[in-house]
Copies of this chain bind each other. A is one copy, B any other.
Amino acid sequence: MAHKPRSEMIAETRAKLVAAARQAFGTVGYAAASMDDFTAEAGLTRGALYHHFGGKEGLLKAVVAEIDAEMSQRLNGISASHASPWQGFVAECVAYIEMALEPEIQRVMLLDGPAVLGDPSTWPNQTGCINSLTTNLKRLLQDGIIVDTDPEAMARLISGASLYASLWIANADDPQATSKKAVGAFKLLLDGLLADGRKSS
């Protein structure tokens, strides 16, 4: 029986490592995840990890990049599936909050990621989610739908508001009620960006 080409084996190894690490980081957290444990779970040892990713931090970067790419993709799909640009934008923002309710995203992207890798805006992929928000804002601005502002700056503010809202909701006693309050306030905040005369659209 013919073996797979080497490059394929390598990609498989890397994928297995990322998958195992993602599972571990997403559940027990970065600090508590033992490299010996989750590499063994992938049928490998720490040797492979150091060879491919240079260390624990390198693996976290890879996991972050993977999750971030998935988030971007999901967000793009959501904003594209709405009729008006403004509705698409609002939907995307709300989806952003909802995604951050997922434990894995919360643990890896909101808590451990920034603590270990530093400010998200310095991450290599430039946080695709921010990019997505930014381009959306640019279009809304060009169309005169929202007030004049720096798109990237506004995207970051919105992103920050969303993420903290998610943390709040996820840890609240009554997530349902809290979610309603947060999303309500959030929509109001976005509404304030509409150019004069367009409110409550």
Spell out A's residues near B (CB within 8 Å).
29-31, 110-112, 114-116, 118-122, 147, 149-150, 152-154, 156-165, 167-168, 170-172, 178, 181-182, 184-186, 188-189, 191-194, 196, 199
Contacts and interface: CB of A to CB of B under 8 A. Distances in A.
- Residue among A165, A188, A194 with most chain B CB within 10 A: A188
Given A115-B115, A192-B192, A157 B186 contact: yes
Contacts of A157: 161, 164-165, 182, 185-186, 189
The secondary-structure label for the interface of chain A is helix
B112 A185 contact: no
B118 A150 contact: no
Contacts of A182: 153, 156-157
A146 to B, nearest CB: 10
7 contacts: A29-B115, A31-B115, A111-B118, A114-B167, A189-B192, A191-B192, A192-B193
Contact of A188 (B121, B160, B186, B193): B193
A156 B149 contact: no
Contacts of A170: 119
